[in-house]
Structure 1
């Protein structure tokens, strides 16, 4: 078991570095937050969006869940955690960018593709059904591919599903059409240390520029 003192020591370094050396930054943050981007990222411990983008506190509004998924717009009963964060960041904070950040070696996508009952758990299977049409696209388009190739393809295809689902939220779609909000799909290859972004004009993921 990891000694909790590792995290306590880390907080003390954070406290020294930010509250001790960068008092101006936290002086501003005390007045409120004004992030320019919402990042919807995976809960995977290896993929921290603030570290990957080298951002400071206050730069990003972040939502993390298994497989960085966005459910479609839906009213009614239920605990809509992602939708709530999306609404707050767009309608209250006025973010200008939404980045769906996927990654290689995603455990959620692997569970979806393997379709094993034991991998679905009590909640994972139902949650991962959000990306079911990504799986269907991959199986239809790549019947001869290896399992690893299919999983990687589903990881990027699920990003597109989340981008599509974002546009089912009326106040997201309205702002995109007005030009005040931009949607981005990024994919981090943890094996290569590279990042690619979806280009809607070519329909491909291309090196991040």
Structure 2
């Protein structure tokens, strides 16, 4: 599964690097080098076409809220702007979510995993029905009341979940061999199960390179 490419736009270089580390720790996401201005953000969007932008309101050459309405890219606001008019304006201009600084790595991780579920639901088939739209929108804000009923798992997804041995962690490749599917397919189902809370993702760090993603059943 190809990672979602994420562009962080923040005028504080150190904060941008910190948030990039948060993004890189979430399976399925890769942070592009952060940028610190609206001009740099536009140049990067046109040149590298990121999947998602994490956008601050206060930039040295423009307000992020003004930049927002010029963008053709998914956006989540990450900002210290904690006033209701900014929140309303951000949502009105197309932001998918709004996260107020300071926040934890886990809070951002939840937002990113919700976004991944949203994207997967809308990518499952070329023509979608209202139930799929409702599920995709709910995926962005899973804590809302009136949630759709729990979905029925496919046979393959159920087999992937069954392949995970309690109290152990396994790689996507190991699960794929057990089920008899490709690693990419196993990765896709494991990510969806993680979004639903049925699977936990752990990172195992080696001496070099990106950490390996390991999957397991949640502890009881």
TM-score relative to the length of structure 2: 0.26
Q: Relative CO higher for 1 or 2, CA cutoff 8 Å, sep ≥ 6?
A: 1
TM-score relative to the length of structure 1: 0.27
Q: Which has the higher helix share?
A: 1
